[in-house]
């Protein structure tokens, strides 16, 4: 039985090694080797262009299963940080909850286990990530509470969400301001809560060549953030922020 609370995450990332090894049918030692090499391997895989087709191709096809190793290595190595984001998520998630760019599903699983959450809608361009999260949901008995979709145009998705998580994704999309507007349009105007963070930087050693850092795009992002969202205080992490929508009267 996997405990989907903070202690359970700090213990073993919600059985992450075991889940990934079983999903990929890999011996655990090989998984360790691949996770250790994954950040460098991903940085070698430069996207050909950071425009919309380039980003889509990169995350949907070129990265493939490589992102599973990279994200798993990161969640296990930086478990204290991820646990803090889960703590913040507990203050925000409710009702129909969107996890946009949900990756390997740590946040989706934790949200789906919360009594105040009706269903988690995990959206991710990467098919390996979606299959892994759906597999994990079945493995922990939450398959009725997590639905995985490729993008926001999927007709299964609710028109509006009661809450949303979009963590470590905004710097990966070609136009972060456009995504932020879309997220604002899909959040409940009354009582909806968004959990967001961003890192518009390619890294001190250039280790994140695929991150968006164009100053004009970043400025537009902050303009939309300030037009559409009002920050809410929480006591856990200053890099992951929660928001309600400003009224558009």
Q: Which residues bind ligand SAM (CB under 6 A)?
A: 59, 67, 71, 101-103, 123-126, 129, 151, 167-169, 172-173
Nearest to ligand SAM of 97, 172 (CB atom): 172
Nearest to ligand SAM of 179, 245 (CB atom): 179
Shortest Cβ 223–ligand SAM spacing (Å): 20
Nearest to ligand SAM of 191, 238 (CB atom): 238
Q: Is 155 exposed, middle or buried (0-12, 13-18, 19+ CB in 10 A)?
A: exposed
Nearest to ligand SAM of 10, 27 (CB atom): 10
Shortest Cβ 95–ligand SAM spacing (Å): 20
Q: Give the DSSP per-residue string, 95-130.
A: EEEEEET-TTSHHHHHHHTSTTEEEEEEE-S-HHHH
Shortest Cβ 89–ligand SAM spacing (Å): 10
Q: C-alpha distances in angstroms, 144 versus 82, 117, 224, 232?
A: 25, 12, 35, 31
Rounded Cα distance between 87 and 34, Å, is: 29
Shortest Cβ 147–ligand SAM spacing (Å): 14
Rounded Cα distance between 63 and 65, Å, is: 6
Shortest Cβ 244–ligand SAM spacing (Å): 21
Contacts of residue 161, Cβ cutoff 8 Å, sequence gap at least 6:
95, 96, 97, 98, 121, 186, 187, 188, 192
Q: What is the CB neighbour count within 10 angstroms for residue 242?
A: 20
Nearest to ligand SAM of 31, 55 (CB atom): 55
Shortest Cβ 70–ligand SAM spacing (Å): 8
Nearest to ligand SAM of 59, 161 (CB atom): 59
Q: Are the CB atoms for 88 and 117 separated by under 8 Å?
A: no
| Closest residue to ligand SAM in the complex (CB) | 103
């Amino acid at each position: 039985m996997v405990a989907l609370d903070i202690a359970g995450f700090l213990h073993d990332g919600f059985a992450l090694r075991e889940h990934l090894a079983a999903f990929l049918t890999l011996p655990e030692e090989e998984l360790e080797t691949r996770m250790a090499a994954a950040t460098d391997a991903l940085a070698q895989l430069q996207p050909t262009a950071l425009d919309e087709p380039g980003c889509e191709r990169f995350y949907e096809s070129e990265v493939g299963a490589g992102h599973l190793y990279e994200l798993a290595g990161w969640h296990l190595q930086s478990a204290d940080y991820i646990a803090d984001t889960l703590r913040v998520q507990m203050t925000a998630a409710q009702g129909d909850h969107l996890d946009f760019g949900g990756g390997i599903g740590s946040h989706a699983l934790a949200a789906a286990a919360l009594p105040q959450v009706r269903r988690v809608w995990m959206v991710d361009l990467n098919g390996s990530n979606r299959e892994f999260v759906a597999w994990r949901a079945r493995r922990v008995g939450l398959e009725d509470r997590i639905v995985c979709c490729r993008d926001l145009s999927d007709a299964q998705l609710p028109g509006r969400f009661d809450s949303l998580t979009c963590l470590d994704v905004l710097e990966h999309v070609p136009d972060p301001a456009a995504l932020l507007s879309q997220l604002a349009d899909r959040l409940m105007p009354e009582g909806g809560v968004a959990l967001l963070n961003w890192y518009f930087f390619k890294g001190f050693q250039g280790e994140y060549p695929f991150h968006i850092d164009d100053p004009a795009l970043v400025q537009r992002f902050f303009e939309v953030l300030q037009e559409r969202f009002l920050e809410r205080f929480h006591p856990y992490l200053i890099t992951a922020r929660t928001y309600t929508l400003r009224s558009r009267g």
